[in-house]
Amino acid sequence: MTEFIRKRTANAKNDILSGLTVALALVPEAVAFAFVADVPPMVGLYGAFMMGLITAVFGGRPGMISGATGAMAVVMVALVKKGNEFGIEGGMGEQGLQFLFITLLMVGVIQAMAGAFKLGKFVRLIPHPVMMGFVNGLAIVIFMSQLEMFKTGTGDEKVWLQGTALWIMLGLVGLTMLIMWGLPKLTKKLPEALIAIIVVSAIVILGNIDVATVKSFIVEGSGGTATGLKGGLPMFQADIFSTKLWTIETLTIMAPYALILAAIGLIESLMTLNLVDELTETRGNSNRECLAQGGANIINGLFGGMGGCAMIGQSIINIKGGGRGRLSGIVAAIALLCFILFASGLIEQVPIAALVGVMFMVVIGTFAWSSFRILHKIPVSDAVVLVAVSLITVWKDLAIAVIAGVIISALVFSWENAKRIRARKKTLQDGTKVYEIFGPLFFGSIQAFNSKFDVKNDPEKVVIDFMESRVSDHSALEALFNLIQKYEVAGKELRIKHLSDDCKALMIKASPKLANVIEDDIDDPRYYVMMDLQK
């Protein structure tokens, strides 16, 4: 009992410390993605808080962190722009935020339905090369997003840091990375990311070093309209229930964005869930995660957050810091809210360089470096998929990259299986010709299957044996129907053996007379052997 309590206490400590580290990393990320989506910084912070808390409590993957994400923000900016441009008679001011919040309600419903209908299991169909490509592409995207922190200015006037400012920035980033690399070699009882942030912040504050901080980042990003992180609790958005916003015209604008956002959110969350599963050697519940993500986005729409999904960077920070339980995500979300309410002044003093250093270490830990080693050892098709998904993730977005990778993998799989169908031919003593089919019969192998038969020159009796094959889809059934018809027209007797039960049922349902063509396999000696083995 004492050992059990000791382990639970140790894990709680790791969860709390890791959660605090994640909360610090969430601040600039949430603010940055809010600027990307063209919404106020507090909307991004509220979104990160509500997403993080709800998914930590109800989600299907303890230790996984959710919040405002760049993949969804890129889509949101177009929606917000359309909302602001949309004219409503009577005037309600800018409608961009209202459009976003209503769309998030739709997103939440779609994602919750995906969980209710247990569609989350389909993430298992994503091939490993697609997963590696996703990880590599996302690592590159995270790295490129951090390069923006090496610029100064606002909007289109941003320029790269130069001279002393650049060297100070690089030095602080390097110091942060050095602490995170070296501290675990001395002790693993302290969260290296949190310690690195505290040390670098102390150096900047005590040394009165002029560098970009969280506060200056917010002010610059907003063009001077925002003054800092200080805010209150999220407020219920009663304005979104105005009948002027719920018309056929407005819903038609929002619906496509809702579908895209829901798809991006589910794909990124479930891929991250799989990655965390591998890191922790445990298994999460994908359907439960879909339900939690959907519920969190509905709450975001009701209480003025920008929504989001799972965050791979913060999730890895949490896992590497020892946060494995739900407590870590809860602490991260509540700490983020506390920063907003009570400690905004302290968080605003954290140098951006420290947070960039943490994210660079995340990039190094996220990138699948083994992919360089195995590229020449795996099939060419898998290598193409891996590289393609990585590039498309950087070029477009995660959802398009994963869908493209799955489609390429599926086409390659179909092509390879289409070439595997074989037919061994033999003639029995009574003159009956037997075609023994090997390999799957599906839409891709139909042409090769049809080429195996010689209807014109075959004898009066023909048997097709599917003992080593399986009829896989409707196209295969149609191919069988056409073949039966050809033999009937030629006046020859055709029998089919060893069809699967489901295929028999479908064929007889389509045409009851086909029952005379399908043989009853109960007298086959191989079936007796199988029955004996089962006994």
Sequence-distant (6+) residues with CB within 8 A of 460 are: 431, 492, 493
**pLDDT for the residue 236:** 92
Which uninterrupted H or E stretch holds 433? strand 433-441
In angstroms, the CA 499 to CA 471 distance is 8
Query: How sure is the predictor about 527, in pLDDT bands with cuts at 50, 70 and 90?
Result: very low
**pLDDT for the residue 526:** 46
Phi and psi at 396, nearest 5°, equal -110, -100
The residue that leads in pLDDT, 402 or 124, is 402
The residue that leads in pLDDT, 397 or 60, is 60
Q: What is the mean predicted confidence (pLDDT) over 319-331? A: 90
Domain definitions of the chain by residue range: 2-409, 419-534
Measured CA to CA in angstroms, residue 514 lies from 306, 502, 507, 519 at distances of 59, 14, 7, 10
3-state class of 440 per DSSP? strand
Sequence-distant (6+) residues with CB within 8 A of 471 are: 441, 477, 480, 499, 500, 503
275 alpha-carbon distance from chain centroid = 10
How does DSSP assign 141-170, residue by residue? HHHHHHHGGGEESSGGG-EE--HHHHHHHH
Residue 292 predicted with pLDDT over 90: yes
Strands 66-67 and 309-310: antiparallel
In angstroms, the CA 372 to CA 108 distance is 38
Neighbours of 236 (CB within 10 A): 9
Residue 132 predicted with pLDDT over 80: yes
419 alpha-carbon distance from chain centroid = 32
**pLDDT for the residue 55:** 96
What are the pLDDT digits (tens) for 154-179?
666 778 999 999 999 999 999 999 99
In angstroms, the CA 196 to CA 122 distance is 39
Residue 296 predicted with pLDDT over 50: yes
- Strand stretches in 214-281, DSSP E: none
Measured CA to CA in angstroms, residue 132 lies from 139, 199, 401, 408 at distances of 11, 34, 12, 15
In angstroms, the CA 220 to CA 165 distance is 16
In angstroms, the CA 350 to CA 23 distance is 12
In angstroms, the CA 458 to CA 434 distance is 10
Phi and psi at 351, nearest 5°, equal -70, 140
Query: By percentage, how much of the chain surpasses pLDDT 70?
Result: 91
Neighbours of 473 (CB within 10 A): 14
Matching residue, tokens 């960077």: 313
CA torsion 130-323-147-393 (nearest 10°) is: 10
Phi and psi at 90, nearest 5°, equal 105, -25
The residue that leads in pLDDT, 125 or 418, is 418
Query: How sure is the predictor about 530, in pLDDT bands with cuts at 50, 70 and 90?
Result: very low
**pLDDT for the residue 200:** 93
In angstroms, the CA 477 to CA 493 distance is 19
Contact predicate 46/308, CB 8 Å: no
Of the given ranges (95-109, 140-154, 219-233, 393-407), which has the lowest mean pLDDT?
Answer: 219-233
Matching residue, tokens 């179909």: 414
Instruction: Quote the pTM value.
Output: 0.71
Q: What is the mean predicted confidence (pLDDT) over 57-80? A: 88
Neighbours of 7 (CB within 10 A): 10
Residues in the chain: 535
CATH superfamily of 419-534: STAS domain (3.30.750.24)
Number of H helices, E strands in the chain: 21, 8
Q: What is the mean predicted confidence (pLDDT) over 320-335? A: 91
